[in-house]
Amino acid sequence: MISLKRYQLVFATANANKISEINAILMFTPVTVVSMADIGCTDDIPETQPTIQGNAIQKAEYLHQKYQVDCFSEDSGLEIDALKGEPGVHSAYYAGNRDAQQNMNLVLTKLGRKRKRTARFRTVIALILDGKQHLFEGICEGTIRLKPSGTGGFGYDPIFQPNGFDKTFGELPAETKNRISHRAKAVQQLYDFLQVL
């Protein structure tokens, strides 16, 4: 059995927002999550796969093979039904660069006044532990607002309203988002898995 008090996992991301969000979710757990910088990794890890799951696996395998560490990575995307699943795996660079405002503007322009605005955030976590790969998926269903609302969160949060709420991810308190988000659900599965090893 793994002693979680001493168990360290490297999170394969350079995104400070994701590090903060996952550390907040795991704040009261005995799992210690460290960043790539903590192990001296400044690499720009490739994300060249055509699916969210493929990118998650690619990033974890890269870090594990180069640094021989137990690690996990995640890839997330916004899937909009009226746009046939776009932006999906291209969510971060949908408008051609990593600019959240431009990405949101492109989504809203493409959707226009369409009545069907159902969407979901999807996260896939790829864990490599003792050389074995494990996958966890979290999904948060919702709708796309006609215009942004709220300044919290990041990415598409100001235009995504999760089902069961009248506020966007950009308006909801961080503790609420960290309980219901796609990433929170995937991280919870990761934590549950580690507990039963």
Paired tokens of 112: 């226009």
Residue 75: active-site member? yes
Burial 45-69 (b: 16+ CB within 10 A, else e): bebeeeebbbbbbbbbbbbbeeeeb
Question: How far apart, in Å, are the Cα atoms of 186 and each of 9, 25, 77, 79, 179?
Answer: 15, 11, 13, 17, 11
Rg (CA), the chain: 17
Parallel, antiparallel or unpaired: strands 132-144 and 118-129: antiparallel
User: In what helix (H) or strand (E) does residue 58 lie, and over which residues does it extend?
Assistant: helix 52-67
CB contact at 8 A, 126 and 72: yes
- Structure token pair of residue 40: 């001296």
First to last CA, the chain: 6
Which of 75, 130, 166, 192 is flagged as catalytic? 75
Q: Compute the half-sphere exposure of residue 106: CA atoms within 13 Å on the CB side of its CA.
A: 21
Contact 71, 61 (CB under 8 A): no
Q: Which residues are catalytic?
A: 75
